[in-house]
Amino acid sequence: MKVRSFVHKGLKRLFLEDRTQDLPPGSADKLGKMLGFLEDMDDPGELRSLSIWKAHMLTGDRKGEWSLHVTRNRRLTFRIDAVQNEICDINLEDYH
């Protein structure tokens, strides 16, 4: 799927320039793999096959967003625009 937009500037730098500044220490490699997977996947159903990343859709006022487990309290969140077949609003969030 095409990656359309980022919320987190550090993730955008990692994706476009392979630069790891502004990312939590020790997380850049995992985040790079996650971004690569998102770019390479053809269907959102593929996310469910990654039990180690604990992929799930959020609920409530965040319905329609996906979350992937990065560390104990950090998550990679994003939306999927099914019409355009694009990943949008990729963010790195501290859940605690």
Q: What is the pLDDT of residue 25?
A: 87
Q: What is the pLDDT of residues 41-82, one digit of tens each?
A: 999 889 888 889 999 999 999 999 999 999 989 999 999 998
Q: What is the pLDDT of residue 86?
A: 95
Instruction: Tell me phi and psi for residue 48, to 5 degrees.
Output: -65, -20
Instruction: Tell me phi and psi for residue 93, to 5 degrees.
Output: -120, 145
Q: What is the pLDDT of residue 71?
A: 92
Q: What is the pLDDT of residue 38?
A: 95
96 is catalytic: yes
- Parallel/antiparallel/unpaired status of strands 74-81 and 2-3: unpaired
Q: What is the pLDDT of residue 32?
A: 96
CATH superfamily name and code, 2-94: RelE-like (3.30.2310.20)
**pTM of the entire structure?**
0.92
Task: Give ∠ CA 47-40-36 in degrees, rounded to 5.
Answer: 85
Q: Which of 8, 56, 69, 96 is catalytic?
A: 96
SS3 84: coil
Residue-range domain boundaries for the chain: 2-94
Structure tokens at 81: 């625009």
Q: Around 28, how many Cα atoms within 13 Å sit in the side-chain half-sphere? A: 14
Angle between helices 28-40 and 9-17 (to 10 degrees): 70
Q: What is the pLDDT of residue 76?
A: 97
